[in-house]
Amino acid sequence: MSGKKPNRLIHAISPYLLQHAHNPVDWYEWGQEALKRALSEDKPILVSIGYSSCHWCHVMERESFENDQVADVMNKFFICIKVDREERPDIDQVYMDAVQALGVNGGWPLNVFLTPDQKPFFGGTYFSPQAWMQVLTNIHHAFKTRRDDILSSAERLTNHLASQGVIQYKKKSEQQDFRQALDGMFNQLESKFDCTWGGLDRAPKFIMPSIWLWLLRYWHISNNHLALDHTLFTLKKIAQGGIYDQVGGGFARYSVDGEWFAPHFEKMLYDNAQLLSLYSEAYSISKDDYFKQIVNETYEWLKRDMIHPDGGFYSALDADSEGVEGKFYTWEYEQLITVLGASNAKSLVEYFGATPEGNWEHGLNILINSGQAASGGLTTDTILTGKQNLLNARNNRIKPGLDDKILAGWNAMAIIGLVDAFHACNDHRFLQTAKRNAVFLQKNLLEGNTLYRSYKGKRSSTEGFLEDYAYFIQACIKLYQAYFDEAWLRQARSLTEHVLENFFDKEESYFHFTSSQSEKLIARKKEIFDNVIPSSNGIMAQNLFHLGTLLDQEVWKNLAITMTEELSHLIYSEPNYMSNWAIVLTEIRHGMAEVAFTGKEYLSLKNEFRQNYQPFTLLMGTKNASPLPLLADKTTQDDTSVIYVCYNKTCKLPVHTAHEALQQLV
């Protein structure tokens, strides 16, 4: 970047904005300076939205935003604003909805043109340099000659965005047999199963963890082994594919094909956090050490490549290095032979699915687990040694760009995944890392009950969104159940009260994505549908149900039930897009056991109990006494340890072993 004059993005915190800090485009961050200038100069606004590990964002920057001629046109006729969608998902939501309402498929980079008062009238995703120059010219001309048409269109689109609410999806819950409803949801998903490669029959393939988490719960209730078998088969196929980093651990965002083979190589914290939970649950059911290996390798990747010295987790690793997608992760055949360099090198190369001509493009190989270990005479130790040698060699390469901002919600998801891994594997490393991460969030992103969105050297001024609060509340509930420190429940309670006060819409009984104290945009959205990241309203409903149970807050439980039941028709008809809501609904309808551990061995009994797959349980515990409503009358005598299994505050006979407690679950 030497010799290039920086623009005002040089002062940004976001790594994505900093990537654009030496463009000749006169970029602004989103804020009053840019918005006021648009009004005073009566210019349309260009909002260009992306994220640091977005391949096509890099391409458009290289082709257009670094081009002096293109930049001159942008600077002359527009107020240009760069937005990191991970830092400002509220802005991204509004303008992504606008572009999709215009009939354009969404994606990133997202380029949206606004009137000077922020109302959208045109947009799209990636444009080639020639197409981009044509768009800029046409919009400038139209803004000068057909202003009334543009303003009228922008007004209609803005009214459409502002009128969108949950009310169009709400419907009074209809009484129907719950098991039949569950079977119907399963049948819809089962009809889309890819029985050859796992997952759902489509390409490209996103993993969508909440679908498989729900299927495991469905199996637990129904004993339908097809649900379990296809889920475990899917997880094995994913972990054997190129979407999983066979050398260094961790998962890429998606596979461009239907075989989990060729990934889009970016690695996101939110995917890997959820997959820690999913593979941990698979291990707790199957006791298949392969799933435990994936959990451990993903954890080691997080610790090696993604952790701040004080315990926070970074956001993402880029798909590109040295301007080439996947260069860091792919190998020439001879490179593999040289690095592996032992008498069994060719067997190892065969195990990794590599060929002399390359199994991918440009003579390169994406490493997979071909399952040929036994036929190649390879031992587990030989494979692990081969992986370590490849990792050591790869560490000498130029690494992909690191997005080193720390996001509250994504870090909270990592805490949840780590606690789930701790319980499944009974490995205290996971819990210690989770606790350290939570303390980092409290220290750096929490002030009173206000949670902030991101941190990079200092915290951003942007308050957290519903996603951040919801996941951090869930993380606190998980941490309490990991070692029964009631400070985490108090934290969860105070944050929940803050969310109810500042995010809740009493008319619709759902939560806005932004706080009432946040900057006002042209529309205030509510997030309902589950995507790769489950919807924040669904996570809040689950929090209210769990926390309402643990703290005996019937009002919170009833709100959770209302939120979920009013969407039940959608959950039944669209489980693919409502899979996390399906988990919440299943918990509510099936019921959650309240399991209390008391006495000297309360933690070791809990750990033994939790290594079994029991998704419909909420745990509490104390060595001596606790003010929690469900523990208040559960005292122990002498050195006796007692477990109480309760439903709706009515307890079965007290028992003294984890096995006996498991037998009491329905």
Which residue segments constitute the domains of the chain, with CATH numbers given? Answer: 8-164 (3.40.30.10), 178-319+403-590 (1.50.10.10), 329-396 (no CATH), 593-663 (no CATH)
Q: Which run of H or of E encompasses 123?
A: strand 120-124
Task: Say if residue 659 is exposed, middle or buried (CB neighbours under 10 Å; 0-12, 13-18, 19+).
Answer: exposed
pLDDT of residue 510: 97
Confidence (pLDDT) at 373: 66
Gap between the Cα atoms of 424 and 156, Å rounded: 52
pLDDT at 649 over 90: no
* pLDDT exceeds cutoff 70 at 422: yes
For the record, the structure tokens of 369 come out as: 């687990």
Classify residue 222 as left (phi > 0), alpha (psi -120 to 50) or beta: alpha
Arithmetic mean of pLDDT, 182-194: 97
Cis peptide preceding 116, ω within 30 of 0: no
Residue 1 confidence class, pLDDT cut points 50, 70, 90: very low
Whether the Cβ atoms of residue 290 and residue 239 lie closer than 8 Å to each other: yes
Structure tokens, 142:
């139209």
Q: How many CB atoms lie within 10 A of CB 443?
A: 12
> What phi and psi values does residue 150 have, to the nearest 5 degrees?
-65, -45
Closest CA to 524 of 258, 35, 202, 163: 163
Confidence at 213, pLDDT banded by 50, 70, 90: very high
Given pLDDT bands bounded at 50, 70 and 90, which one contains residue 375? Answer: low
Report the residue count for the chain: 666
Question: 585 CB contacts (<8 Å, ≥6 apart)?
Answer: 564, 565, 568, 571
Q: By the 8 A CB rule, do 267 and 248 touch?
A: no
* Rounded Cα gap, residues 501 and 495, in angstroms: 10
Contact 483, 434 (CB under 8 A): no
Q: Which two tokens stand for residue 138?
A: 């046409």
Contacts of 228 (CB under 8 A, 6+ apart): 215, 216, 219, 285
Q: Is the pLDDT reported for residue 19 higher than 50?
A: yes
Q: Are 334 and 354 in contact (CB under 8 A)?
A: no
Residue 129 CB: number of other CB atoms within 10 A? 15
By C-alpha distance, which of 507, 463, 414 is closest to 90?
463
| pLDDT (tens digit per residue) in 492-549 | 999 999 999 999 999 999 999 999 999 999 999 999 999 999 999 999 999 999 999 9
**pLDDT value at position 198?**
98
